Amino acid sequence: MRTLFLAVPLLALPTPALAGPLRFEEALARAEAQAPSLRAKGLEVDARRSALPAAGQLPDPKLGLGIDNFPVSGPPAGSFVEDSMTMARVGISQDVPNAAKRHARTSRARTDVEAAEATLLSERRRVEVATALAWIDLAYAERRLAALDGIVSRLAPLPSAAKSGVASGTARPAQTLQVRQALAVLEDRRSELAAAVARQRAILSRWTGEPAPEVVGNIPALTIDAAALRAAITTHPDLGAAGARVAQAEADVGIARADKRPDWGFDVAYQRRADRYGDMVSAGVTVSLPLFAKRRQDPMIAASAATAAAALAEQEDMRRSLLADLEAGLADHAMHHEQWMRARDTLLPLARSRANLETASYAAGRAGLLDVIEAQTMLADSELQLLDREAEFARDAVRLVLTFGGTANEIRHDLARAAWHGGRGARTGGGSPRLWPGDLAP
């Protein structure tokens, strides 16, 4: 299924003096530049790259200083020059791990860099999705609040009408209380929506760094191409991070296997004796003997291999999880589209017609004030429900495209390409956005 979500103009709302206007694509760019978590992951990449050259190097050489064969008994006791074997020694020794081990350590360090880079990409995707959803949520929270303000203004004459009805005898005194109660319920709901606006603004500020961000511009027009999203699963950053963990575990297997090969080392020493004796030079080589591999190296190899197998299984689990999340998201997207269209084309018109009919019947004396209140309340619920369903549809589109599709830069290009559709959307003459016949393709 290929679905296009058209641009929807946002209602202009009063905002704090310090508010920073942000279009959708600007919010994404700001978050990518300012998110502390991305800076942290970038520094981790720098750290891994800095450590890479040291991974395969030899250990530091060791300097040895000492006195050999110093007499402590007999005639030469306590003398540095009486015994011909007494000497001052200075030497250098160097351990040399086997080449396979040094190569394996370099490979492990290289996979550490790749893992850090993959984690950075995964974090960037997470920040992009969270920022996009925060922008969408704030946009629709403001629209809900503006819609409810319009509803309250529309119902403002009802208390006066109720009092007039009581005075004329067409309404009972208790009905004035019911009108006030209905308006109080709406005021409660307005308080909830105002809090939601503040809450979503705080969330968007958390990602963009703006102290009081204001959303401006259109709801993004994003194309949902299910086949392309499924194909893009293989390049998902989270799957790449899982693959990097597999590579790290396999590198650990290489290090464990390299331990079965002998390491070696050498040392050279210069030995100074008394002037009447000649000086000496010593040299030697050491070789490790992995004679007990079954008790030492083999268990570590088996443990590393099991860890690598576990990482591979986790990678497959990640792939299945992403695919399941995508399919569930596509199903929700289709459902929310149907519900949005039903609310826009059926439920809201019916609620509006009922409210108009009840109002006309009340004016003609054929309906009571409670009937008008009930109809107007249902109309208010339908208007807010339409915004709720539209918001769910918009969230689906943004989450699917940014989570499973391209990067934020690609999304910005897609939005520019879809600007023509926003122009068509303007032909609807206001109100809720309209999906044109060509916008839905099988």
pLDDT in tens, 93-113: 999 999 999 999 999 999 999
Residue 38: the pLDDT is: 95
Q: Is the predicted pLDDT of residue 324 greater than 80, yes or no? A: yes
Cβ pair 400, 442 in contact under 8 A: no
Burial zone of 420 (CB within 10 Å; 0-12 exposed, 13-18 middle, 19+ buried): exposed
Q: How far is Cα 402 from Cα 188, in angstroms, rounded to an integer?
A: 35
Domain ranges within the chain, ordered by starting residue: 2-58+99-259+296-441, 63-96+264-292
Taking only the tens place, the pLDDT of each residue in 282-299 is 999 999 999 988 999 999
> Comparing 179-188, 200-209, 299-308, 413-422, which segment has the lowest mean pLDDT?
413-422
The edge-to-edge listing of strands for the beta sheet with 62-68 is 62-68, 87-96, 264-272, 280-287
In 131-212, DSSP assigns E strands to: none
Q: Which long-range contacts (CB under 8 A, 24 or more apart) does 32-37 make?
A: 32/124, 32/127, 32/128, 32/408, 34/208, 34/209, 35/127, 35/207, 37/123, 37/127
Averaged confidence pLDDT in the chain: 84
Taking only the tens place, the pLDDT of each residue in 36-85 is 999 999 999 999 999 999 999 999 999 999 999 988 988 888 888 888 88
Q: Is the predicted pLDDT of residue 221 greater than 90, yes or no? A: no
Q: How far is Cα 367 from Cα 300, in angstroms, rounded to an integer?
A: 85
Taking only the tens place, the pLDDT of each residue in 334-373 is 999 999 999 999 999 999 999 999 888 877 877 777 788 8
CATH architecture of 2-58+99-259+296-441: Up-down Bundle (1.20)
Q: How far is Cα 385 from Cα 297, in angstroms, rounded to an integer?
A: 65
Question: Which whole number is the average pLDDT over 118-140?
Answer: 95
The pTM for the full model equals: 0.79
Taking only the tens place, the pLDDT of each residue in 154-196 is 877 776 666 666 556 555 666 666 777 778 888 899 999 999 9
> Comparing 95-104, 210-219, 311-320, 407-416, which segment has the lowest mean pLDDT?
407-416
Q: Is the predicted pLDDT of residue 247 greater than 70, yes or no? A: yes
| pLDDT-derived band at 272, boundaries 50, 70, 90 | very high
Residue 422: the pLDDT is: 44
Q: Is the predicted pLDDT of residue 14 greater than 50, yes or no? A: no
Taking only the tens place, the pLDDT of each residue in 296-306 is 999 999 999 99
Taking only the tens place, the pLDDT of each residue in 139-152 is 999 999 999 998 88
Residue 79: the pLDDT is: 85
Residue 159: the pLDDT is: 66
